[in-house]
């Protein structure tokens, strides 16, 4: 085809179709020259056309190509100095992915040509490879952003009313027998009515998708026949990954993703993306040259004092340099794109502490936070941090600024410890149950800053947490050396599967204890897909490379009793604002009532004093939640009023008799939940001051008055 080019514009970055042609724009500050390579098909090993970009505005290279249409395939070659010792790794023999590509045509095929140096050379990465990588690289795709959203608008479900469901696009649907086979494991399957009905019946308000931005599988995994199943290895921050699309050679994955979001929104379910802006899939100095490294290595990555090497706060070999304006712009442009064009409702930031590092220290006043807080688009969606990285001082639970929620790792650890009977847990357990005010109240955040979870994708499933003392990661091919060794788990008497009925009953009860604690805690509960119905990974607590039945949701092996219990538990939480308060408990009398909004009791019915929290051996307590003491208004301006509840926790290995408080707290109590059993329903009633026995390792929930 005859190519006609014009000056073009430096902004927006990436490839932008305007109806008559495409504007291409690339940031490459230290480059000497940039070539745009156009391809006819994804399988092309040679470019059909090369366009030398001659226009440069500041650090941005740009050109407008008339007549190009959506579906056009392209990549870049960037010229400049190859001097790794100075942090420069330009190599025009390598075809590069556009950092702003909205779609990518496929996955890379591992070959030595993908590396900027000669594999096996005595000088290692200081050598220079002249092998062409184009035959092995996926191509970027020009897309048309036009889409009929049919009036779709953000749901804006209040954070304190949110219930998050963490899942994997493929793993959740790939084995479902009622979903059409051709879409199982795809975006379309997440948006299918069968999937949506399941999510609605469960009661969740938001689905949090593990990484769907285009990622790569490390070569060492590919060589072992494994894959990066989890996807925490991003190479395209704007592009929905092709693995989850039914078609993708011409950018169809973008439309399929949008259809999924629209269907979920129509069902009242928000979409949160797990995003990885702390590093890329290019690894350390021995990694491949796929995009950023070859475009302008020193303008994207945090380099060490000896710039041949990378600063690594992520355990992946590199760290994106979020201190630099061009990297900040990349991240912010990406976030805005997913919000405005793809209609997602929020983000969970992987290893977020790495983004907040200024020089070496984590700084909650860093430019990353400043830019987000002033952005009128990004600041209005749900922002969730994984508040740690692997660098020194990287554990930052409770240290992120207002406007952010955090994965509360201290909640996870405390709740696990409490239910396996660890000493000295009573005081911290109370803090975690009531929203972790010790972590979030002093900086004016609310209980919704705490994303409460007992399990996550990384670690044991709920079933495995009560079934294994040790990790069993042999399938990962790392001699069981990978994964966390201290899991705060307990197998209840036997390692792994057992026929012992007593152990089976205890495990079921422990699962109910953990779920009940999670959903009755202040803060935002996060449930991992499958925990509601007993999914197991056979003791593997690091299944990042297992794209198979070990990780997939097994729809044929559901524990329907546990599923029903979880559905009822979520229904209970959503029906009673006392369990999802917008503001903190104060622990002081309510005007006109004479009762505190919350009160803690010993099993003998005596209200707890400061000294009682210090008893190392204590494993049992009760808490009164005053339904008339909720200090926040409803959306219509009326006072929020609920039933009062009395929660009895017994983590001891024998039954405990609890004396109920006197009539001023409640004249009659209805038992609505006992984790020694699997139903959430009204049971017997108790008057004030009587004794109620709570079975070993159990929770009893009492509600004042008649259960509705």
Q: Which residues are catalytic?
A: 350, 386
Are 348 and 275 in contact, with CB atoms under 8 Å apart? yes
Distances in Å between the Cα of 520 and the Cα atoms of 405, 524, 581, 649 are: 18, 10, 11, 12
Closest CA to 569 of 507, 627, 520: 520
Residue (of 609, 595, 600, 532) closest to 568 by Cα position: 532
Distance CA 435, CA 289 (A): 45
DSSP helix/strand/coil, 694: strand
Is residue 4 classed as helix, strand or coil in its secondary structure? strand
Longest dimension (CA), the chain: 90
Tokens of 546: 């297992």
Distances (CA, A) of 474 to 238, 450, 480: 35, 34, 5
Whether omega before 266 lies within 30 degrees of 0, making that bond cis, reads no
| CA pair distance 459, 416, nearest whole angstrom | 13
Question: CA 277 to CA 440: how far, in whole Å?
Answer: 25
Q: If DSSP codes are grouped into helix, strand and coil, which group holds residue 342?
A: coil
C-alpha distance from residue 592 to each of 104, 324, 532, 584, 628 (Å): 64, 56, 42, 19, 10
Instruction: With CA atoms as reference, report the closest residue to 662 among 646, 673, 684.
Output: 646
Q: Which two tokens stand for residue 551?
A: 């990780």
Q: And the tokens for 89?
A: 């790794």
Given a contact cutoff of 8 angstroms between Cβ atoms, the answer to whether 165 and 527 are in contact is yes
């Amino acid at each position: 085809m005859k190519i006609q080019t014009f000056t073009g514009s430096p902004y927006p970055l990436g490839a932008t179709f305007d109806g008559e042609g495409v504007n291409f724009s690339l940031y490459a500050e230290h480059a000497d020259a940039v070539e745009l390579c156009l391809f006819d098909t994804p399988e092309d090993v040679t470019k059909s056309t090369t366009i030398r970009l001659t226009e440069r505005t500041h650090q941005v290279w740009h050109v407008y190509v008339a007549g190009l249409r959506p579906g056009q395939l392209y990549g870049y070659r960037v010229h400049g100095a190859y001097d790794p010792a100075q942090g420069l790794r330009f190599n025009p023999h390598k075809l590069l992915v556009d950092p702003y590509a909205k779609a990518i045509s496929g996955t890379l095929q591992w070959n030595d040509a993908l590396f900027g140096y000669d594999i096996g050379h005595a000088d290692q990465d200081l050598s220079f490879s002249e092998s062409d990588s184009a035959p092995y690289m996926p191509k970027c795709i020009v897309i048309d952003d036009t889409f009929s959203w049919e009036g779709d608008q953000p749901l804006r479900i209040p954070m304190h009313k949110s219930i998050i469901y963490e899942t994997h696009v493929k793993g959740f649907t790939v084995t479902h027998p009622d979903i059409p086979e051709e879409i199982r494991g795809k975006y379309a399957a997440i948006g299918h009515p069968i999937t949506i009905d399941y999510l609605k019946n469960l009661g969740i308000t938001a689905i949090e998708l593990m990484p769907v931005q285009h990622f790569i599988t490390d070569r060492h995994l590919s060589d072992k026949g494994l894959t990066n199943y989890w996807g925490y290895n991003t190479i395209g921050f704007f592009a929905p990954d092709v693995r989850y699309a039914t078609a993708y050679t011409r950018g169809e994955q973008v439309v399929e993703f949008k259809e999924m979001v629209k269907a979920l929104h129509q069902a009242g379910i928000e979409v949160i993306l797990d995003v990885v802006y702390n590093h890329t899939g290019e690894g350390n100095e021995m990694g491949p040259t796929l995009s950023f490294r070859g475009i302008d290595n020193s303008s994207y990555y945090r380099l060490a004092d000896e710039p041949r090497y990378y600063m690594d706060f992520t355990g992946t070999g590199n760290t994106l340099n979020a201190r630099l304006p061009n990297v900040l712009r990349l991240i912010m442009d990406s976030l805005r794109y997913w919000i405005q064009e793809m209609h997602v409702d929020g983000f969970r930031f992987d290893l977020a502490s790495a983004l907040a590092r200024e020089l070496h220290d984590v700084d909650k006043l860093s430019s990353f936070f400043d830019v987000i807080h002033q952005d009128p688009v990004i600041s209005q969606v749900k922002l969730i941090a994984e508040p740690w990285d692997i660098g020194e001082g990287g554990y930052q639970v409770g240290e992120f600024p207002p406007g952010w929620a955090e994965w509360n790792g201290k909640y996870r650890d405390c709740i696990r410890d409490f239910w396996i009977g660890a000493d000295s847990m009573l005081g911290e357990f109370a803090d975690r149950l009531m929203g972790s005010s010790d972590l979030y109240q002093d900086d004016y955040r609310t209980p919704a800053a705490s994303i409460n979870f007992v399990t996550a994708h990384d670690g044991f499933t709920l079933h495995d947490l009560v079934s294994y003392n040790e990790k069993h990661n042999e399938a990962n091919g790392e001699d069981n050396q990978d994964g966390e060794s201290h899991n705060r788990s307990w197998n209840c008497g036997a390692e792994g599967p057992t026929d012992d009925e007593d152990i089976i009953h205890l495990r079921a009860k422990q699962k109910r204890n953990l779920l009940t604690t999670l959903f009755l805690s202040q803060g935002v509960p996060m449930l991992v897909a499958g925990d509601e119905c007993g999914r197991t990974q056979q003791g593997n607590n690091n299944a990042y490379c297992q794209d198979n039945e070990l990780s997939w949701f097994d729809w044929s092996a559901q524990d329907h009793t546990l599923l029903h219990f979880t559905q009822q538990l979520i229904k209970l939480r959503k029906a009673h604002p006392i369990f999802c308060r917008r503001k903190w408990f104060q622990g002081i009398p309510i005007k006109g009532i004479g009762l505190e909004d919350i009160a803690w009791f010993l099993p003998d019915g005596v209200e707890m004093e400061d000294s009682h929290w210090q008893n190392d051996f204590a494993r049992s307590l009760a808490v009164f939640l005053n339904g008339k003491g909720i200090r926040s208004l409803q959306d219509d301006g009326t006072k929020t009023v609920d039933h009062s509840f009395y929660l009895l926790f017994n983590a001891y290995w024998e039954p405990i008799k609890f004396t109920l408080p006197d009539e001023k707290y409640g004249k009659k109590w209805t038992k609505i939940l006992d984790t020694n059993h699997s139903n959430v329903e009204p049971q017997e009633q108790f008057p004030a001051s009587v004794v109620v026995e709570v079975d070993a390792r159990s929770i009893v929930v009492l509600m004042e008055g008649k259960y509705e």
